[in-house]
Amino acid sequence: MKDRQKLQAILIGAIAAALIIGLAGGYVMGRHAGRSAGTASSQAAQTIAASGDTSAQSGASAASSADSQAGTSQSEQAQSEDTADAETPGDADTEAAAEAGTEAEEAAAQYDIGDHEGEGQSEADPSQIDNAKTTEAKEESADDGSAPTYDNDKAVMQIVVMGDSQFGNFRGKNGLAYLLKQYCNANVYNLAIGGTCAAVTQTEGSDSGDKWESVGGAGMVQLAAGKVPSSILDSHNLPYTKKVYEDCDFSKTDVFVLEYGINDYLNKIPLSNDSNALDVRSYRGALTYCISTLRKYFPKAKIVVATPTYCQFFASGTGEYLGDGNILSNGVGTVTNYVDAAQNVVEGMNGDADVMNAYYYLDINSLTAKQYLLDGIHMNSAGRVLYAKRLARKIIIAMGYDVGQEEDVTEIDWQSRAKK
């Protein structure tokens, strides 16, 4: 009898211990998930309150979307970690995932990328930011071993990308242009140039024709429209971009992607000019000009504006953490103010363009920065896979294919679906 009671006591104790461990584990996981979801919502709320040029309607929309897409972001993160199972795009995904670890280790040795919640300062001059140097233009020769992105004889669409170093400095099989080619079954003409802004900077001339100097967003749109000569690319020593430009028949373009913003922030480009909505020396004005010009010269093409992603900044010399895109102002605004400005421009264009808000809805934040960011600003290979999947879905939906907002286009046969 005593032995039976003793055995029962042992069993009851074991069950109680298991229950305590399970409850504790559930609490930790729930707390972590809640913090992650809360970060996205608080980022949206903070930006909406801080941005002087954000309308109440757009603010409500951003907050609502942050809540409704929290599940999408989490599922996309899980999908990006299991890229080897994809079909055709799987080759690029696997290669990207293989390189992500090395890149992350190199970045971690230089910058303390990670969760710095509650740290940082409210304002800093961009000249103090050390990792800003990595956004400088980096043009290689026309024959630099880049992976071909517009040799697809069976492509169902043509995409032209104008942007900065997120596209321009990564041209291999783990680069965004190549990933888009795979995911969208497209020919992708990558005209992105590292270090460029959407706007014309204060040191660049903006006169038309032969006097035009900028190869940022406004300049590349002018080039595509035939309003400035291609010799501008020679003057900036951009042989790769020159070759892509010469190979592209812009009249056949189905989708233009405009991916700018981080360098506008780093160059302290004004957010807007209240007296001139098309002022190409302001961020809003430049984006408005780019969309309007593309719509005029290529009326059948779709236009997708891609905002900057979440980012972290570190001090020159010391590597000290300065702040992230939520809190660190350049004296004009935070990165989130530039993100909101891009969102507002698109919303005010009456359907002439669509927007991929990569800052709020890409699941790159303070908690995942170390996983997806190479140097605090640029995405590593895993981050680029995450980004390319979301952008590809945005493009495919813009092209009229019946794809859900939460579907991974690398795991479905979207081409067999009827267009809406």
Task: Determine the angle formed by the axes of helices 381-398 and 176-184, rounding to 10 degrees.
Answer: 40
Where residue 263 falls among pLDDT bands split at 50, 70, 90?
A: very high
Contacts of 6 (CB under 8 A, 6+ apart): none
Tens of pLDDT along 318-368?
888 899 999 999 999 999 999 999 999 999 988 889 999 999 999 999 999
Tens of pLDDT along 7-28?
444 444 444 444 333 434 433 3
Q: What number of other Cβ atoms are within 10 A of residue 19's Cβ? A: 10
Under DSSP, the state recorded for 417 is: S
Residue 180: closest CA among 164, 161, 165, 199: 161
Rounded Cα distance, 419 and 109, in Å: 48
Phi-psi map region of 120: left, alpha, beta (phi>0 left; psi -120 to 50 alpha): left
92-106, 114-128, 252-266, range with the lowest pLDDT: 92-106
Q: What number of other Cβ atoms are within 10 A of residue 227's Cβ? A: 14
Residues 184-209 as b or e (16 or more Cβ within 10 Å = b) = bbbbbbbbbbbbbbbbbbeebebeee
What is 5-401's CATH number? 3.40.50.1110
List, as one string, the DSSP characters of 276-328: -TT-TTSHHHHHHHHHHHHHHH-TTSEEEEEPPPP-EEEBTTT--EEEETTT-
Residue whose token pair is 């009456």: 350
β-pairing, 302-306 vs 186-190, is: unpaired
Which residues is 419 bridged to in the sheet? Answer: 401
Answer for the pair 228, 218: CB distance below 8 angstroms, yes or no.
no
Tens of pLDDT along 39-66?
333 333 333 233 333 333 333 333 333 3
Where residue 414 falls among pLDDT bands split at 50, 70, 90?
A: confident
Chain centroid, CA 413 distance in Å: 25
Rounded Cα distance, 387 and 364, in Å: 9
**Does residue 223 have a pLDDT over 90?**
yes
Answer for the pair 379, 107: CB distance below 8 angstroms, yes or no.
no
Mean pLDDT along residues 308-314: 94
Contacts of 210 (CB under 8 A, 6+ apart): 228, 229
User: What's the mean per-residue pLDDT of the chain?
Assistant: 75
Mean pLDDT along residues 120-146: 60
Percentages of the chain per state (helix, strand, coil), in multiples of 5: 50, 10, 40
Output the six-digit token pair for 27: 């609490």
**Does residue 78 have a pLDDT over 80?**
no
**Does residue 85 have a pLDDT over 70?**
no
The pLDDT of residue 344? 95
- Between the alpha carbon of residue 18 and those of residues 12, 13, 15, 22, 291, the distances in Å are 10, 9, 5, 6, 60
